[in-house]
Structure 1
Amino acid sequence: MTDQTKPDWKPLVPILRQVIFANRIYLTEHEQQVLTFIFQRTRMFGKAWEAIPLRHFIGGIWSRDAGNTCSRLRMKANNVIAAYKGLQAKDLIEIRDHPTEASQYRTVEPSEVARHDIIGFINRNQPKLMASILVELRRNKGRLPPAFSKLLEVLPKGHDLHRPKHKTGSGIRPDSLSVSLGTDLSLSRGMQPTNKQIGRLKRRNSNIAPAGAKLTFPTTTKERSKFRIIPLTTAAAQFRKEQSLHLALLEASS
């Protein structure tokens, strides 16, 4: 093989080191596998973008001449979809969706990685992964750079980062109940909702009572289990914590 026919691997090394390997701590196992698969189907073949059907992820790619060109991922289709959506949210890959054809994928360049955004996404959406990261940071506390030491101080210590644990024996605080599943509306006992709040509930909940009906709180344990706990005092504290976290992330990633 002459030098002209040899593939040029040098451009791939920064992507491997700074995009894939350097960010493994911020990825789930499924996300790591999907990111490597996309890298193999794109950059390893000298392509920035490549159309990859879902069947290639879960079934692999075979050819009569080359055999197993790309090995399949041993995971369910739903896990593959969740993984590449997580990678997209962390800006480690780009996806071009198409209504009738396979979506196209691209592994980003090192200069496009924003680590503080990645950690911020994990903190908001992947509490189990954040908990494992915190365990690793604490385990290596004596060897962390100053920026990451500050990050460790700012990050919450509990594994359930965004679910306050203010509960009574029955599991619900009666003075802090959310009126509808998935909403951010919190009411205190004896407090009547405003028209704006009722309108918001009507748009989000098809089971809302007719206009003029009074809003009542659940009384039985079964009814209470359908409501999400959002203490009124938590919102301001959480906002301040998010601000401090964002500043620490910016410093740690600089």
Structure 2
Amino acid sequence: MRTRVITAVVALLIFIPVIVYGGWLIQLAAIVLGAVALGEVLVMKKKLVVSAEAIISFLGLLVLLAPQSWLAFLPDNLNREFLFFIFVMLLLLHTVFTRNHFSFDDAGVLTLAMLYIGMGFYYFVAARNTGLSTLFYILFVIWTTDSGAYMIGRKLGRHKLAPQISPNKTWEGSIGGTIVAVIVGSVWVAFFPQHFSLPIMVILTLIYSVCGQLGDLVESSLKRFYGVKDSGKILPGHGGILDRFDSLLFVLPILHLTGLI
């Protein structure tokens, strides 16, 4: 517990100033966090992080996360989406050059990882660009969902939510976490209004809280498939970057879908 607390305090002391400053610093942070998260997927897949497939994947991720100004030198017919697809094709070609030691399945996993991580952190930056209060809003929704689900689940949890994926999660904890998040999110929006009215934001907060828990379960499923407890070890007591950002990576694109960012 002491290790978890120390890690959390140090991480927040670094993380909060970065998101408050925004600009190039949060863009750089998104790229670094995304690269570490992709590295965790490679390690779970038992792939070297200095291999050809890793380098191609990191470059594909960079294309998704790079500011538009970095890509301004490209011709009009070579936009971000097509440039990303070029790296996907390179992964597919790599299956030929390695005679299937790097397989089509491997290429599929890394392509999905690039999209999952890349788009998640892309909208992390987009949320900050929309406004500091918007980013703090969704952070508080996710954090209070997790904390509320943990505390209420420990006290009242009886019915397992997804025992084969995450044995400790319960329906009582899940519902309780969402209720806590809706209360906290509503209070935040009352003081720091967002794009929509308060009644609509209450409904959206509920949706975001549920989607955050789904993102948590997705990452739990990933770890269970690869037989690991944590996605990484970069955060002592907390695991890896995917362990800490799993809910956000799933929720932030939903914010864009619902028009909040």
* TM score, norm. by length of structure 2: 0.26
Q: Which has the higher strand share?
A: 1
Higher relative contact order (CA 8 A, sep 6+): 2
Higher helix share: 2
